[in-house]
């Protein structure tokens, strides 16, 4: 049963924040046009956009459900019957129709500017409506900037409440035009959602074989989720294309590191198993000559095939890959269980490089690597024969390896030729041109409309008016530029300390009395406004040095001297593991910094880009980058005057790394950081410490000099 007058009550109850002007507008539009609005699509067209623009975080599915309920209130179960196309029947005309006259009538009705009055008067206050629409437009801009804020997740979702990602696409056409050797990938009309949150809508993905694609976009927008949808085959790629994704570390067991890499080549392993079987048969006693000849012939053929495939070079190739990623020859012989998760992730990367799939998927491959390993990986991937799709926050890495950039934003994918720097330049030019064209068309529309309004009733100008009306109707619809919001980080002002702030005097360190010294006779000093970056190979002792500066470890010999008024905030590589995944972002701050107001907590989160509903989301639903922002907000609430950061960029996107660098530069305290991210080092570093051979040295020439030394070392090792 229809109940039109219940619409305002339904809107107030379902959307308490909906402005009263929009509520009245929706009610009047539906009530006055109930005869014409008879389907869900028509309700969506009439009021859906106003609802979605006026209610924060109202997704497409939520809008659709609300419009379905509005349709039910409008018509109940007595919807006007719509004749479907296949049900149409012929009917004799009741009178003669003059087609020329009908065409004139159609032309007269085709323009909205010729409508002089409405049959039904409206009761909507136009001034209030205009004000409400301005509010809705502002909210729409804010919502678009925050689109995708809580998308992909880095941990397994809990079955009780956590929605899983789903994907759909247009069917792949593999017959006919596609030949068996083609390895290009084209996925069309891709939709990806997590629960009611849509990450991609009708997007196309095209990857030409041999090209290297960098997938970029803001934290939480869905980059990792897209990779997972491809690697899990929820998005189908053409058959015959081999694919491998580096997502999880190799399991730690008794398998030697080198053997773990060799075992990843299943084809090679099949040949080796066959060889072992034939050798076993030949070693049996009492074999007849015929049997010996048979097994020897098969073994000979097998060796010929293995030689043609150069399988004998497998161990040397695998060892070379591991060495490039930082494993010494002795470490390659050790069991994988003796290595940390970061090092086992390197083993997983080496396995992928050894197998050489047609499509290699990489999610932040540089996170666990030192600068030497990153440089080696860049060089190796530059000669990659297959297709690569990688997510990375490392601008230099994207510049070095990428031939193309795929930009994920506002539920769409845009493709750009070139590396990251070229993408940035091209995108800015594209947006500038798009805005210029939009502004020009809007000016043309306004000028033309003014002419139409002025001479609409002038008989002499009627042909010109009609011409301009038709011209307006033919103009393409241009959309205004949707700019992503700027990212700003801000650390609070702090007390400036007197120098020296933090010193190690003749400090040596060993973990136990029987273990070798990790450092000998360190003499290091930092000042109130220091900007020090620490670099060195993994395992050289960078994190241990930070712990000595922090006071978490005491020098075995020598002294640590510290200003008694220092307040150090420490950011670790494993900050995500230290957060309570069950609580919300604001609850994390409440627990760690009690007796503050809600405004204080929200302000702290807002200074690191966690505004609005993100403050109330469970930590587990935040992306890796958003968790990093939460960790920074947590540190900032300590009001520190000294920051010690260990690999702070691992989960941040390129723009956020830049925002962090700017925030560290404006911070009026001191900064000491360990990082392999060259963008951050170049933004922040005023002093470079190199950890090597149980010593810490200040390198004159900074990052550029260190880069030269590492490249020289790589050339010598090759």
Residue with more model confidence, 709 or 51: 709
Question: What does R_g of the chain's alpha carbons equal in angstroms?
Answer: 33
In a domain, 360, yes or no: no
Percent of the chain clearing pLDDT 90 (strictly above) = 47
Q: What is the pLDDT of residue 169?
A: 79
What is the C-alpha separation between 388 and 215, in angstroms, rounded?
A: 10
**440 and 513: one domain?**
no
The residue among 92, 127, 145 that closes a domain is: 145
**625 and 519: one domain?**
yes
The residue among 145, 172, 198 that closes a domain is: 145
How far, in Å, are 225, 390, 412, 511 from residue 653 at the CA level?
15, 13, 18, 36
Percent of the chain clearing pLDDT 70 (strictly above) = 85
Residue with more model confidence, 51 or 108: 51
Confidence of residue 438 (pLDDT cuts 50, 70, 90): very high
**628 and 525: one domain?**
yes
Tell whether the model's pLDDT for residue 631 goes beyond 70. yes
Confidence of residue 106 (pLDDT cuts 50, 70, 90): very low
DSSP state of 690: E
The residue among 277, 303, 332 that closes a domain is: 332
| pLDDT tens-digit readout, 285-332 | 778 888 888 888 888 888 888 787 777 888 999 999 999 999 999 999
Q: What is the pLDDT of residue 101?
A: 46
What is the C-alpha separation between 24 and 551, in angstroms, rounded?
A: 64
Average confidence (pLDDT) over 650-664: 92
In a domain, 644, yes or no: yes
Q: What is the pLDDT of residue 567?
A: 95
Q: What is the pLDDT of residue 137?
A: 52
Query: Can you count the helices (H) and strands (E) in the chain?
Result: 26, 18
In a domain, 342, yes or no: no
Q: What is the pLDDT of residue 47?
A: 81
**535 and 611: one domain?**
yes
Contacts with 558 (C-beta within 8 Å, 6 or more apart), sequence order: 504, 505, 506, 507, 508, 521, 522
* Domain of 459, in residue numbers: 428-474
Average confidence (pLDDT) over 527-538: 94
**453 and 580: one domain?**
no
Average confidence (pLDDT) over 397-421: 95
In a domain, 93, yes or no: no
Q: Which of 263, 249, 200 is nearest to 226 (CA)?
A: 200
**587 and 454: one domain?**
no
Residue with more model confidence, 609 or 119: 609
Strands (E), 291-392: 359-363, 387-391
Q: Which of 588, 639, 641, 580 is nearest to 610 (CA)?
A: 588
Out of 49-63, 546-560, 631-645, least confident range: 49-63
3-state per-residue secondary structure call for 599-625: HHHHHHHHCCCCCHHHHHCEHHHCCHH
**694 and 587: one domain?**
yes
**537 and 660: one domain?**
yes
Q: What is the pLDDT of residue 46?
A: 78
Q: What is the pLDDT of residue 179?
A: 52
In a domain, 592, yes or no: yes
Confidence of residue 602 (pLDDT cuts 50, 70, 90): very high
Average confidence (pLDDT) over 386-413: 95
| pLDDT tens-digit readout, 202-257 | 999 999 999 999 999 998 889 989 999 999 889 988 888 999 998 766 778 899 99
Q: What is the pLDDT of residue 553?
A: 95
**466 and 569: one domain?**
no
In a domain, 625, yes or no: yes
Confidence of residue 89 (pLDDT cuts 50, 70, 90): very low
Average confidence (pLDDT) over 629-636: 93
> What's the structural domain count of the chain?
4
Torsion of CA 427, 428, 432, 435, to 10 degrees: 60
Torsion of CA 52, 54, 58, 62, to 10 degrees: -60
Q: What is the pLDDT of residue 321?
A: 94
What is the C-alpha separation between 250 and 263, in angstroms, rounded?
A: 12
Cis? peptide before 500, omega within 30° of 0: yes
Confidence of residue 568 (pLDDT cuts 50, 70, 90): very high
Tell whether the model's pLDDT for residue 123 goes beyond 70. no
**454 and 585: one domain?**
no
Strand 642-646 and strand 670-674: the pairing is: parallel
Tell whether the model's pLDDT for residue 127 goes beyond 80. no
Average confidence (pLDDT) over 595-621: 90
Q: What is the pLDDT of residue 605?
A: 94
Average confidence (pLDDT) over 390-409: 95
In a domain, 488, yes or no: no
Q: What is the pLDDT of residue 196?
A: 82
**688 and 558: one domain?**
yes
Mean pLDDT over each residue of the chain, to the nearest integer: 83
**511 and 443: one domain?**
no
Average confidence (pLDDT) over 137-164: 43
Instruction: Report pTM.
Output: 0.69
What DSSP string describes 7-39? Answer: HHHHHHHH-TTS-HHHHHHHHHHHHHTTTT--S
Out of 161-165, 457-461, 489-493, least confident range: 161-165
In a domain, 494, yes or no: no
């Amino acid at each position: 049963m229809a109940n039109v007058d219940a619409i305002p009550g339904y809107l107030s109850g379902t959307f308490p924040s909906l402005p009263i002007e929009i509520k009245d507008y929706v009610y009047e539009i539906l009530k006055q046009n109930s005869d014409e609005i008879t389907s869900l699509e028509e309700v969506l067209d009439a009021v859906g956009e106003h609802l979605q623009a006026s209610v924060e975080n109202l997704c497409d599915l939520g809008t659709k459900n609300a419009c379905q309920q509005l349709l039910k209130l409008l018509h109940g179960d007595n919807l006007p019957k719509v004749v479907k196309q296949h049900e149409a029947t012929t009917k004799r005309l009741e009178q003669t129709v003059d087609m020329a006259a009908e065409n004139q009538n159609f032309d007269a009705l085709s323009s909205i500017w010729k409508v002089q009055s409405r049959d039904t008067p409206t009761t909507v206050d136009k001034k209030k409506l205009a004000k409400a629409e301005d509010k809705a437009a502002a909210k729409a801009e804010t919502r678009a900037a925050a689109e995708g804020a809580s998308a992909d997740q880095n941990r397994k979702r809990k079955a009780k409440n956590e929605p899983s990602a789903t994907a759909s696409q247009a069917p792949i056409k593999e017959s006919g035009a596609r030949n068996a050797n083609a390895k290009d990938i084209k996925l069309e009309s891709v939709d990806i959602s997590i629960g009611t949150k849509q990450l991609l809508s009708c997007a196309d993905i095209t990857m030409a074989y041999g090209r290297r694609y960098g997938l970029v976009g803001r934290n939480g927008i869905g980059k990792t989720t897209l990779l997972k949808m491809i690697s899990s085959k929820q998005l189908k790629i053409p058959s015959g294309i081999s694919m491998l994704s580096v997502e999880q570390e190799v399991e730690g067991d008794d398998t030697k590191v080198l053997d773990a890499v060799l075992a990843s080549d299943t084809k090679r392993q099949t040949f080796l198993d066959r060889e072992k079987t034939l050798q076993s048969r030949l070693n049996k006693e009492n074999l007849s000559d015929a049997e010996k000849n048979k097994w020897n012939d098969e073994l000979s053929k097998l060796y010929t095939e293995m030689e043609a495939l150069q399988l004998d070079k497998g161990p040397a190739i695998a060892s070379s890959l591991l060495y490039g990623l930082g494993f010494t020859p002795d470490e390659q012989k050790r069991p994988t269980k003796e290595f940390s998760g970061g090092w086992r992730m390197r083993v997983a990367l080496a396995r992928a490089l050894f197998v050489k799939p047609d499509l290699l998927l990489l999610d932040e491959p540089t996170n666990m690597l030192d600068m030497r390993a990153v440089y080696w990986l860049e060089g190796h991937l530059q000669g990659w024969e297959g297709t690569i799709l990688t997510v990375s926050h490392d601008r230099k890495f994207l510049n070095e390896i990428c031939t193309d950039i795929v930009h994920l934003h506002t539920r769409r994918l845009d493709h750009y030729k070139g590396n990251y720097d070229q993408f940035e330049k091209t995108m800015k030019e594209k947006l500038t041109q798009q805005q210029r064209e939009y502004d020009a068309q809007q000016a043309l529309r306004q000028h033309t409309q003014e002419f139409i309004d002025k001479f609409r009733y002038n008989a002499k100008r009627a042909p010109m008016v009609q011409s301009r009306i038709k011209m307006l109707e033919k103009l393409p619809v241009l959309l205004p530029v949707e700019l992503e919001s700027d990212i700003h980080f801000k650390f609070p002002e702090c007390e400036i300390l007197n120098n020296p702030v933090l010193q190690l005097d003749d400090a040596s360190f060993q973990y136990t009395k029987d273990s070798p010294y990790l450092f000998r006779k360190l003499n290091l000093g930092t000042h109130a406004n220091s900007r020090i970056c620490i670099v060195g190979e993994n395992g050289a002792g960078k994190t241990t040095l930070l712990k000595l500066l922090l006071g978490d470890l005491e020098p075995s010999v020598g002294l640590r001297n510290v200003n008694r008024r220092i307040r150090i905030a420490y950011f670790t590589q494993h900050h995500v593991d230290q957060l309570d995944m069950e609580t919300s972002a604001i609850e994390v701050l409440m627990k760690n910094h009690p007796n503050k107001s809600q405004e204080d907590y929200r302000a702290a989160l807002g200074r690191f880009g966690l505004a609005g509903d993100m403050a109330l989301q469970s930590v587990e639903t935040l992306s890796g980058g958003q968790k990093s922002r939460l960790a920074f907000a947590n540190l900032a609430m300590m009001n520190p005057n000294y920051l010690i950061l260990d690999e702070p960029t691992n989960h941040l996107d390129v723009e956020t790394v830049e925002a962090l660098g700017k925030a560290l530069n404006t911070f009026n305290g001191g900064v000491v950081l360990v990082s392999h991210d060259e963008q951050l080092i170049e933004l922040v570093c005023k002093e470079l410490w190199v950890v090597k051979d149980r010593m810490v040295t200040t390198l004159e020439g900074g990052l550029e000099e260190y880069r030269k030394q590492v490249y020289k070392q790589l050339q010598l090792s090759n």
